[in-house]
Amino acid sequence: MTCTATPNRVRSLPVLLATEDDAEDMGLLAPDDRLTCHVHGRWIHQCAASPSHVNPVTRHRWCRGCRNELTVAVDELSGEVAMSCPRCGHGGSAATTRLVAACRASLAAERAVRFAA
């Protein structure tokens, strides 16, 4: 017997965007855990490279040692997402780790929508 049913409901970008806006307003969802971006209206992995997603205070996409923003590499084929400092090659932080995790999840969610369509 084979079971190919996916446990997670597939939600399109506009639906998930609205759902996450509501959940965030109600305090049920941390901004860091969103798979969609309310600023750009896109999947987070599609706009994480935007300067709006750099924050030296929280250290999202920011290398403190070099005072430099991290570059974003998204591999749509493998689903791999990486962020690193172009100067020292590192620059990781807890905030960036969370952003990378959200990007991987949004990439997977976007694929699920594409295959379901």
List of residues contacting Zn ion (CB under 5 A):
37, 39-40, 47, 63, 66, 85, 87-88, 91
Name the one residue in this structure whose structure tokens are 């860091």.
32
Rg (CA), the chain: 15
The residue (of 101 and 116) whose beta carbon lies closer to Zn ion is 101
Supply the minimum distance, in Å, between the C-beta of residue 36 and Zn ion.
9
The residue (of 47 and 99) whose beta carbon lies closer to Zn ion is 47
**What is the CB-side half-sphere exposure of residue 22 using CA atoms within 13 A?**
6
Q: How far apart are the first and last CA of the chain?
A: 25
The residue (of 47 and 81) whose beta carbon lies closer to Zn ion is 47
Supply the minimum distance, in Å, between the C-beta of residue 43 and Zn ion.
9
Q: What is the C-alpha separation between 7 and 112, in angstroms, rounded?
A: 11
Supply the minimum distance, in Å, between the C-beta of residue 102 and Zn ion.
11
Q: Is 103 helix (H, G, I), strand (E, B) or coil?
A: helix
Tokens of 49: 């490279």
The residue (of 87 and 111) whose beta carbon lies closer to Zn ion is 87
Supply the minimum distance, in Å, between the C-beta of residue 39 and Zn ion.
5
